[in-house]
Structure formats: C-alpha cells, structure tokens
Structure 1
Amino acid sequence: MEFGDQELTGAEEERLVSGRAETAERDAEAALRPKGLQDFIGQPQVREQLSLVLDAAKARNRAPDHVLLSGPPGLGKTTLAMIIAHEMQTSLRVTSGPAVQHAGDLAAILSSLEEGEVLFIDEIHRMARAAEEMLYVAMEDFRVDVIVGKGPGATAIPLDLPQFTMVGATTRSGLLPAPLRDRFGFTGLLDFYSSDDLLTVLKRSAHMLGIEADLAGLTEISTRSRGTPRVANRLLRRVRDWAQVRGTGIIDEAAALTALKVYEVDELGLDRLDRSVLQVLCKRFAGGPVGLGTIAVSVGEEADTVETVSEPYLVREGLISRTPRGRVATSAAWKHLGMQIPANYEF
C-alpha cells in the first residue's frame, strides 16, 4: 500500500487501518451525542433540575453554579457537560482526574480559562490531593495561589480567575472529600435507563446512522444493554456489522439474536466476563462465599476490573451478593446457568 510518496509495510498499513477504524468509531459515538437538553433522552429528574439551573443562570447573565454529575459509566455524564456548555453558548475545556496529578497542572488549566467557560473534569475522584486543595479555592473564590520558589523564601502569588463553571463527573462519589463535594451548587445523580428509554435511544441512533431496523430487533438490543446508552449504541453498531456482512442489511429480531450470540451477549446482557464470574462461583466454589481476589485470579482478570465492570451489574440483577465473608451466588445465578442448586446450599 502506498501512502503519499511512501511505501508502507504490512505492520504500518495495519496500524493505519486500525487507527482509521478507531477514529471512525469515536466519530460515530460523538455524532450520536445530543446537543441540547431537549434532545437528551432519559434521566427526567436530572434533566429538569439542570434546566432550572441553566435557565436561572441565563436570566442573571452569569455563569451557572458548579455541577457534579454522579453515576455509573456510560449514562451520559460527559454528554451533559457538553450540553451545559452548548446551552450557555460557551466553550468546554475537558480533562480528567488522573491527568491532574500536580497542583501546577491544575493551575495551568485554570489560569487559561476565559470568562464563562465550562471546565469538565472526568473521574474527578482520582485527582491528586494537592490539586484538590487548590480546586477548593478556585471554585469558591475564583482565585489560585501560585507558589514561586522553594523553602523559606517561597512566595504565594494570588492569581484572580474569571467566573467559570466547574463540571465534575464521578462514578464513585463516596471517594470525593466532603470539602470538594460541598462546593458544587448542584449534584445530579444519574441512574440506569429503562428498556423503554433505551429503545428510544436506539431508534434515534439508528436514524442518525442510517441503519434500517425494525422494532423487534431494536427491542432485543435494548433489553440486553445493561441499562446503559453507551452499551446500547455499541451493540447497535455491532449488530449492524453482522447484518451488513452476513444478513440482509436490516436489523430485525433474527439478526439481533444471531449477532448478539456471536458477540457473547446473553438475554440478560451478561458478557463472557460476567458469566465466567458466575461459573467460578457456582461450579468451582459451590456458590461461595469467595473473596474478590480469588474470583479475579480464577477468571484471569484484575480484581479492579471484576469489581468495577462486572460485579455492579451482577449485584443489581440479583445474581450475586456481597457478604462480609465474600461473594455469594444467589438462586437466580444457578437458574441462569441452568444448574441445580445443591441441596445443602444456604443463601
């Protein structure tokens, strides 16, 4: 393959094609994001509350109060941050907690903000403590103290900041220190979506992507999307791939069922990792209790991955329980795996 005037090797060509595919995937995801609150599907309480905050700020002609968005991944926290900036007709600065590991990193971001801008920090609970302490003052007094020099000769130079709106997103609000939580004027708690709301999301996404789909096919996808729009849109694109390559190009119920089987997503929305956790609990350890570390080693994953990706959904669906002694399979887990509950098993 030639690129410009250069001949590409096989590995270079593979990286180029892969990079283009990833870019196309990100572009598709970005294109599906609603631009305004009126287009945002689901979360009616948060949408109504946030609408009041923004409308009041517009009436006063000033930046809205700082906003904290809390909830599981994939429910629309980043989208809502973008909507806040769009509704206020201002620009959005985006960073993440893990990227802000020093107070100087945060000072550089804050000092470059312009009047009325929205600063979005994803995974805000993972910020370094020194940066958090600087953020307290910035959010409350709109200033930062820049330390010049070291030791006894160090000098703190106060730097005034323009009025801005801080939007923080977290999947673990309990890890936020109370002083930081208290500085947010509004906290939006996002919950999992119903199948009906996900069906509405999928109809909109299919229309925007030019996908031909019937109600039965989209319904099948919505019921397996774990209550999460991000998962629903991802499954929609994968089922579309199957329909285009091996089907008729139309997402109907048969296409959805076959494609989701190929991608190992069962009728409850469980994937390979979820089922592996259940099988380890029921088959290898007779239902538990089993420690998280033991489960992680048994399924070949990191403990953090099992705890944050798989376990919350399994607990929410009533398939496993957390106990002081470890994780325990419920009767629903045995039933889902098609296994007989041992006669002496105690729940």
Structure 2
Amino acid sequence: MAEHERDVVSPDADLDERALEGALRPKRLEDFVGQERVREQLSLVLRGAQRRGRAPDHVLMSGGPGLGKTTLAMIIAAELGAPLRITSGPAIERSGDLAAVLSTLQEGEVLFLDEIHRMARPAEEMLYVAMEDFRVDVVVGKGPGATAIPLDIAPFTLVGATTRAGLLPAPLRDRFGFTAHMDFYRADELELILRRSAGLLGAHLDDDAAVEIAGRSRGTPRIANRLLRRVRDYAEVRGDGRLTLDIAHAALSLYEVDAQGLDRLDRAVLDALLRRFRGGPVGLSTLAVSVGEEPETVEVVAEPFLVRSGFIARTPRGRVATPEAWSHMGLAAPPDAAFGAGVPADGTATAPAGP
C-alpha cells in the first residue's frame, strides 16, 4: 500500500508537516482547546512557581501522537517567559550528548525532551541527578583512571513527552513533579480547533463541514488539521474555495477516509479479518500477511484506533472482530462468530494480545 494512502489519518508527522503545524499552534494556555483538567492543573503549577519566583516542577506528558504535547511544551515556556530548548530521546545517544545540552541551559530555561522513553540508558542515569540536584557528573578518562567531575547546571524545567509511559523506568517517572495524561479529543473540541485553524489559513469553513471533518479525525487535532488542509485543497482546485459539507464529503471520499475515520488500511484489516478469517481469532502476523503489510505497521498504525473504536478485540488467542466491525463493513456475522464466545460486544477485552 502506498505510503501517502495512509498518511492522511496517521497521528505522526514529518518535519514538513511540523513546520506547517507551527503556524496553527496556540501560543497561550487560555487559547489551548481541550484537555480541560490538564490545563487547569498545569496552570496552577505554573502560577504557583511564578509566585514563588522559582522554576516549576518538571513536567511529564504522556499520550498518543498528535494530541498536543509539543504545543503544551511551547506554551509552558511562553507562560513562564523563558527560552525553550527542544531535543528528543533518539538524539541523546550518549551521556555526553545530554551533558552538552544541560551545561548550556540558562537559568529558568525550559528543556523539551520528546520521546523521552527512547533515550539511552547512561543518559537517563545522568538525567536523574540533573533533575534532582541540578548537577551533572562529567567523566574524564577511561578505565580505572576515570574521574567523575561534578558540574553545576542552572536550574531548569524539564518537559518530557512520551507515547509509551510504561517504558519509562520508575526512578525517572518519580522525578517529575507533575504528570499529565493527554486524552483523545471530543468532536466538539475538534470543531473549535478546526474553526480556529480555518481562520488562520484564511479559509471559509461552514459549520456542518467542521462537524463532518471533526467526526472523521480519530479524536486527534493533528489529523483534524491535516484533513482540513486536504479539504481546503479540494475546495480551491475543484470548487470555489468555500469549505462546504458537499466539498468535505467529496474530498474525504477521495482520500478514502470514511465516516468513522477509517482509512484504506483500516478497512483492509477489517475486511481480511471478517472475510478470510470469519472474524477471528487470528494472529497478528497472519493478519498482516493477508493485507500485505508488516506486522509492526498493522499493530502500530491501524490496530490502536480499531481497538479503541470497538471494531477489534485483542484476546489471548489473537485478534477478534466485534459486532460493530461486521455492522460497519455491511456484513452479516456467521452464527459461530468468535465474539459470541466470551468477547465483549464493545471489543474492550483487556487480555494480553495474541501472537
């Protein structure tokens, strides 16, 4: 399957898209839509630190890609009036890489460490001390003659972001004073985001078109803004530039995003599961081969949304289709369908996934 065919509803973004997102990001906490509880808690953390004249506690944000973790990191720096340094876990390959970053921080600076769970273990251990004591131990020399030289660093605030909080070691998690979990967005919140983004893009977005795009955005602002840009392109090339409901329907149909937000890969997975395997159970590898994809692609790209939407259940014996999957694909479930044998009708089985 061509890469562009599934990128339109992928929660990940490449460098070019991140640059486009920058123009649409809110700059202040009061302008950030959604995540009400996180916003309120974070506001208290920041205001309390400002009243005390100290750097706020380190902040850990967890949640799926595209939910606003980077945006909130930028907002934290803006609210504090502090510089923002951005790096990522994969870029920190050695402890020396982290020491180089930390030793150049200014007092009160905000360090945003994306994908913090992918940082090298030696760097993690250095980060423990830096977060707690604002000190790094620089090792000089090798072998028995190596010497650790303590180096004081300026007080700073670390904002860590992760899509897989369970991979963070407990000592690292415990050093964050505030942990925020980013939830998926409601449709009405996405509509507000779409209207704001349309205004910034100079596009006229009808209310019913905003409702339609929001409903297909998989609860993710990044996907909502991406679909908005595709609908805008369609409106400018094949219409009069106005983003109407008919234009939204036509554009989203062209990009193969259905009413539930499923794309071509999602439907291919469901079709194989239903037609070839009679609703399962079936192993991940077998399911992936049947749609011509790598198991990791099915597991990371398609399956999370299908499970969250109640179309697939993960059971000890493998993946199983739910009644909602049969209904959505317009098929009648056979009498011996697996969901009739102990799989909840909402697809929320929590047993470990099959092989």
Q: Normalising by structure 2, what TM-score?
A: 0.90
Match of 1:37 in 2: 29
Match of 1:283 in 2: 275
Following superposition, the deviation at residue 23 of structure 1 comes to: 7.8
Question: 166-175 or 276-285, which moves further after superposition?
Answer: 276-285
Partner residue of 2:94 out of 85, 102, 105: 102
Matched, 1:262 2:254: yes
Q: How does 1:72-87 map onto structure 2 within 5 Å? A: 72-87=64-79
CA distance in 2, matches of 1:116, 1:297: 51
CA distance in 2, matches of 1:328, 1:226: 21
CA distance in 1, matches of 2:25, 2:78: 12
Partner residue of 1:179 out of 164, 171, 175: 171
Matched, 1:198 2:190: yes
Partner residue of 1:337 out of 326, 329, 336: 329
Q: How does 1:1-347 map onto structure 2 within 5 Å? A: 25-347=17-339
CA distance in 1, matches of 2:199, 2:20: 13
Question: 155-164 or 93-102, which moves further after superposition?
Answer: 93-102
Segments of structure 1 that go 5 or more residues without pairing to the other structure are 1-21
Following superposition, the deviation at residue 302 of structure 1 comes to: 2.7
SS of the residue corresponding to residue 212 of structure 1 reads coil
SS of the residue corresponding to residue 338 of structure 2 reads coil
Match of 2:342 in 1: none
SS of the residue corresponding to residue 257 of structure 2 reads coil
Retained in 1: the 8 A contact 2:117–2:165?
Answer: yes
Q: Higher relative contact order at CA 8 Å, sep ≥6: structure 1 or structure 2?
A: 2
Question: 261-270 or 309-318, which moves further after superposition?
Answer: 309-318
CA distance in 2, matches of 1:257, 1:244: 15
Following superposition, the deviation at residue 25 of structure 1 comes to: 4.7
Following superposition, the deviation at residue 299 of structure 1 comes to: 2.2
Residues 35-94 of structure 1: CA deviation (Å, up to 9, x unaligned): 000100000000000000000111011111000001111110000000000001111111
CA distance in 2, matches of 1:325, 1:25: 39
CA distance in 2, matches of 1:74, 1:26: 10
Q: Letter of the aligned partner of 1:165 in structure 2?
A: T
Following superposition, the deviation at residue 99 of structure 1 comes to: 1.2
CA distance in 2, matches of 1:271, 1:172: 24
Question: 257-266 or 121-130, which moves further after superposition?
Answer: 121-130
Following superposition, the deviation at residue 105 of structure 1 comes to: 1.0
Following superposition, the deviation at residue 244 of structure 1 comes to: 0.5
Retained in 1: the 8 A contact 2:94–2:122?
Answer: yes
Question: 300-309 or 325-334, which moves further after superposition?
Answer: 300-309
Following superposition, the deviation at residue 249 of structure 1 comes to: 1.0
Closer, same or farther: CA 173–24 of 1 in aligned 2, 3 Å: closer
CA distance in 2, matches of 1:37, 1:228: 18
Residues 257-287 of structure 1: CA deviation (Å, up to 9, x unaligned): 0000000100000111111111121112111
Residues 145-180 of structure 1: CA deviation (Å, up to 9, x unaligned): 111111111000111111000000011111111000
**Alpha-carbon RMSD:** 1.2
Retained in 1: the 8 A contact 2:212–2:245?
Answer: yes
Aligned length: 326
Following superposition, the deviation at residue 303 of structure 1 comes to: 2.3
CA distance in 2, matches of 1:23, 1:161: 31
Closer, same or farther: CA 88–260 of 1 in aligned 2, 3 Å: same
Q: Letter of the aligned partner of 2:236 in structure 1?
A: Q
Question: 288-297 or 31-40, which moves further after superposition?
Answer: 288-297
Residues 78-124 of structure 1: CA deviation (Å, up to 9, x unaligned): 00000000001111111111111211111111111111111111111
Residues 299-321 of structure 1: CA deviation (Å, up to 9, x unaligned): 23332222222111111110000
Question: 115-124 or 295-304, which moves further after superposition?
Answer: 295-304
Following superposition, the deviation at residue 328 of structure 1 comes to: 0.6
Closer, same or farther: CA 24–187 of 1 in aligned 2, 3 Å: closer
